[in-house]
Structure 1
Amino acid sequence: MMKRSLAPIALLAALPSLTSCGEAEIGEPPLTEAALAAVTEEAGAPREDLARAVDELFTKEGLGETRALVVMANGEIAAERYGEGYDADTRFVSWSMAKTVTAVMIGMLVADGRLSIDESAPVELWQRPGDPRGEITLRQLLQMRSGLRHTEAGDPPYESSEVRMLFLDGRDDMARWAKEQPLEAEPGAQFEYSSNTTVILADIAARALTDSDDPEIRRRAVADFLEARLFGPLGMDSMVPEFDASGTLIGGSLIHGTARDWAKLGEFLRRKGRAPGGEQLVPRRWVELMVSPSPRSPQYGLQTWLNREYREAGDESEHPLFPDRAPGSVFSLIGHMGQYVIVSPEQRVTLVRLGHSDRPQRIAMLQELADILELYPER
């Protein structure tokens, strides 16, 4: 009788271990070969954790479509993966990530002495006597606080200043259309994100490089400058900038490049303007200014988004990044529908995510990117 009673007692004693075994079996699934292959041996973070976080960006529901992901850690590729139909040679459209490229170009021209950041912006149309737009400075344009009537998003969409400039009445001479808009606020008084503003900056750059109005000469002047001063020294061989019919760089939205080349740009900014070989391509102080908060939007610098928390009373707008989960020094290039180059100087990490996600998907997807960053220690 005693021997028979031992069996159920032994079974009960084994239940905790059986339960824990069952939990392990229904926990996270084993990583696939593709997931592990995306991560290098010296990733700078726990390899399996990084592989799983990267894998979720491509497989988890509700995040949209991730087409490319590159993680750079300590200057080396830590992880790289592509969606079906895309690879390391695919050129991806920048959308608004191009704005940061335009800011770098302006910084080079300021360093060359061809432009001045705090003088009236050199826009001939605004220099007529009595035109209040003549008070707009280059700094205010860079910080998206020109005061011009530029509405980025419209309802219906064709009422958007961006849509009208890119595709409707402004498409042949985008900068002229953007410059012709009247003021709706005092220059410098308020922040308003605007692709039109960046095209004005691109036009200013072209006019600093050539006196010609010939579209081909203007296009070549800017393309050659970017190649000689930025893309070439950084080895960004895939970059293809687009221009409108007047020869103005569509500097707010249309530069194409591979995910690796976008990562090179992020690394260049992380190094505060230095090329891999040590050459200072743009002054260190300029990059520091690019990632310093605007007086009208602490979440924005010079054509660059910042991971700074800021809320006024009653402000329930979503933050473009994740200040609760990453250092305040993090900054980012951000493009339409989920294009990101996120740079964390304190963690020595650059993260590139390119793809297609709507607003709810982007909110969820950003938390996945934060998961990746959190695998890296702050230094």
Structure 2
Amino acid sequence: MNTLRSLLPIATLALLPALSSCGDVPPEPAPLSEDALAAITADAGAPTSELAREVDDLFTREGLGETRALVVMQNGKVAAERYSPGYGPDTRFVSWSMAKTVTAVMIGMLVADGRLRLDERAPVELWHRSGDARGEITLRQLLQMSSGLRHTEAGDPPYESSEVRMLFLDGRDDMARWAEEQPLEAEPGAKFEYSSNTSVILADIAARALTDSEDPEIRRRAVADFLEARLFAPLGMTSMVPEFDASGTLIGGSLIHGTARDWARLGEFLRRKGTGPGGEQLVPSRWVEQMVTPSPRSPQYGFQTWLNRPLDDPEEEHPLFPDRAPASLFSLIGHMGQYVIVSPQQRLTVVRLGHSNTEERIAMLQQLADVIELYPVR
């Protein structure tokens, strides 16, 4: 009997590999690399090893595309920061459609200054001719992408895209003029239609609020100086480079360049409802609140900003993840997987910049949700 008892522990140990292979004992995760651990700071705000692993997966897991930069800020401090080889803290990344939210902030400042009116007819001279129904389009409807102007964001073949035609073909020298010349395809305010061209119209309206000149250089300088003095400099966003077309209009739907850290600074500014790092109010808090309020025709969109609100049709693809994060979460989203995600209830800003195709982006977004879920909702 004593011999039998002494053999039982040995027999149990011998069975462990078999039990493990049956799935009863989960396999040990692979050791974290030095790069994975080095990305996490002392102010992580989440379990270090778990955050390091989720961040590492964004850079190494197959099927997510190429993550080139990631910055996680929690409660105003950098929690994690990592770059792919060839990229770093000084690399300027193109915004693509994240520029739209910058344009919305600029419009908010001009509304606060009294130079524009949110619910009056948009100040586009071309639309104010007698009998032109486009004259009823308001600034609010432009911000909410419900102007009713004819538009096709992504065409097949690509040259049938209104955005491609504006940026690269017949509209490229005066993008706003080309976008403003489009006829109505719906009553203003009746239909949501995501449109990069609409953001260029907003940028043109901003330029005309700042200067009466038609000189391209004067228009360009007026907008660039305004953004620098009122937004970029107060936030310490020293890397920002906005692009303009030949007529001096900011390409406000797609072309502003900046480092990952500066995009994180913008996200933090919005998380703080428009205040700078020293507490100065750069744009009214009520304007940021309107930016993240669902528009009447699209619950997932506010003023040039994507929202984490559930859709009426559960089968429709959502741009974010309402089942995995608070409804108050919102995001700047750019082509090929550029994200600045802000979750006020988690005191969190997450910047992911890189290159993912449509299928990869869907999978990558769920990996970003894995990072965000590590932080408690307050």
Q: Check whether TM > 0.5.
A: yes
Structure 1 range deviating more: 2-11 or 54-63: 2-11
Partner of 2:148: 147
Bigger mean CA offset, 3-12 vs 113-122: 3-12
Shift of 1:26: 3.9
Instruction: Work out the CA distance in 2 between the residues paired with 1:53 and 1:6.
Output: 45
CA positional deviation for 1:310: 1.1
Mapping for residues 92-241 of structure 1, pairs under 5 Å: 92-241=93-242
Q: How far did 1:21 drift?
A: 7.9
2-structure distance, mates of 1:4, 1:287: 76
Task: Give the 3-state SS of the residue equivalent to 1:72 in structure 2.
Answer: strand
Q: For residue 13 of structure 1, report the CA deviation from its aligned partner.
A: 2.9
Give the TM-score, by structure 2 length.
0.96
Matches within 5 A, 1:307-322: 307-312=308-313, 316-322=315-321
What letter corresponds to residue 372 of structure 2 in structure 1?
A: L
| Deviation sequence 1:182-220 (CA, Å, 0-9, x none) | 000000000000000000000000000000000000000
Secondary structure of the corresponding residue to residue 367 of structure 1: helix
Q: Which residue of 2 aligns with 1:352?
A: 351
SS in 1 for 2:64: coil
Where does 1:262-301 land on structure 2 (aligned, <5 Å)? 262-301=263-302
Q: Secondary structure at the match of 1:341?
A: strand
AA matched with 2:148: G
User: Residue type matched to 1:334 in 2?
Assistant: I
**Distance (Å, rounded) in 2 between the aligned partners of 1:104 and 1:214:** 24
- Count of residue pairs the alignment pairs up: 376
Tell me the CA shift for residue 16 of structure 1.
Answer: 5.8
Partners in 2 of 1:16 and 1:44 — Cα distance?
Answer: 40
Structure 2 segments unaligned to the other structure (5+ residues): none
Name the CA distance, whole Å, in 1 between partners of 2:8 and 2:207.
85
Residue type of the alignment partner of 1:293: P
Is 1:70 aligned to 2:71, yes or no? yes
Single out whichever of 24-33 and 206-215 deviates more from structure 2. Answer: 24-33
CA distance in 2, matches of 1:201, 1:38: 38
- Classify the secondary structure of the residue corresponding to 2:49: helix
Structure 1 CA distance, aligned partners of 2:234 and 2:242?
16
CA RMSD of aligned residues (A): 1.6
- Counterpart code for 1:341: V
Q: Does 1:14 align with 2:13?
A: yes
Shift of the alpha carbon at 1:3? 7.3
The answer to whether the aligner puts 1:257 opposite 2:291 as a matched pair is no
Q: Corresponding residue for 2:377?
A: 378
Q: CA deviation at 1:9?
A: 3.7
Alignment match, 2:243: 242
Q: 1:85 and 2:67 equivalent?
A: no
Q: Separation in 2 of the partners of 1:191 and 1:19?
A: 57
Report the Cα distance in structure 1 between the residues aligned to 2:2 and 2:232, rounded to whole angstroms.
Answer: 81
Q: CA deviation at 1:5?
A: 5.3
Distance of 1:165 and 1:21 partners within structure 2:
59
